[in-house]
Structure 1
Amino acid sequence: PLNFFPFNLGQRSRPKYKVSIQVPPATRSGKLPRVQGDDSRPLVVIDAGHGGVDPGAIGPDGLREKDVTLKVAKAIRDELLASGRVRVALTRDDDRFLVLRERYGIARRLRGDLFISIHCDSTGSPEATGATAYTLSEVASDKEAARLAARENKADVISGVNLGDAGADVSSILIDLTQRETMSASATFARLLGREAKPLMPLKPNFHRMASLMVLKAPDMPSILFETGYISNPQDAAFLDSGDGRDRIARSVTRAVEVHFARRMAAR
């Protein structure tokens, strides 16, 4: 043990110190989540954003993003499994904290074919409304996309310890040919989701946006971050917190997933 007192102060005068370091709750990083569905089907990994010590955005009535995203993720899982077209895994199925690298890391370890991270947007204006889908780009498509990336990328330090700092080799991934192809596939899926979701739920006019989001940086797996609506907007929040709203979101995602993999099969 370290000796903080190199000289003898005597037993009575020597103070007693207790060193404590606050760390986030332990995650089950060594245990992969359960995969459900037919083993012959492609795997979709659904990521419920935030969780544990990180509540995410909080609506004016106290609705927490981490609770909404988990319910929506489970609704999407159930709808996808009912379709019988894919296998499904959730990065978290309870209220726990995962660092951003761990989220897409789980999907890569499972050899996922598609990664969808579920979130709720928030802004100071209660007028902002509608869902958006984000895909990876080193340059944000607009100021709002840059703002969102800055907010979401802070999730790793919410507990006071930056466990998401992986150094320059991860935070600035080289965009090689493989990742360029992945980014293109991600953008195609985002546009497809917008098409399928439009009849079922409110969307922003510029539905597909791009930003440098850490959770989307898997270089070999199409990935999107789906902002399902504004938790800061009373109407959006009510939609997100309703069974009907979650059902509509789940149907939108399922339709897009079915078309996505049907196109892939046809292209082989």
Structure 2
Amino acid sequence: MKKSKMLALLAALVALLLIVAACGSDDAGSGDSEGKVYQVGIDTTYPPFEYEEDGEYKGIDVDLIRAIAENQGFEIELNPMDFGGIIPAVQAGQLDVAIAGMSITDERKEVVDFSDPYFEAGLTLVTAASNNEITSLEDLEGKRVVVKTGTTGAKFAEDNKDEYGYEITTLEDSPSMFQEVSNGNADVLIEDYPVIAYAIAQSSLDLQIVGERLNGDNYGIAVLKGENADLLEKINAGLQELRDSGEYDEIINTYITE
């Protein structure tokens, strides 16, 4: 009799341990994403999309990714770095997300997956305010053009330099480009239209936008190619909900007015 009771007790204990183990396995699997803080790469030299003011990160991209994360219920941590290092950091696993006024291009699509477009930008030529000689690409023969490392502006300049006969200087950030043209060390810079329009309006830069936009780039939010489909789905869902609710327009209008 005692032996039967003991066997029944042991069987019950084994069953209980199997249930606990199964529950523990489920908790471990779900905890991988629930407890994760996604690392987000930004470039704080790029107002009005990203900049630092009084020790706080601000801008369209900053507000947008924070709003998307809140809407979709995930945590983020912002990581400022040079623009040219953001995609390599995504590839190296140091970043989960990149939002940095990054144009969606076929070349970048080879290594990252982009969200739905969230802003239509476009490149433009910028000269010193006193320069009356340059109004289009056709005026750049023999001139010095300055661009920022890793940008679509840099690629555009490289792709067209032989046709239009200019020299290229590459710098690491937008303020350095602005200064180079203001000081007369370069004839023209190539920059995203909303960035330079904001910079000229908000500061005493002795610069002017000339000619028509050179292209019609769209900005996207990037994740590592083929590795973060669930996260990208959340980003797109959050972006659409912000558009539907009007919060997207509120963010844009905080920094850019027509």
TM-score norm. by structure 2 comes to: 0.31
Bigger Cα Rg? 2
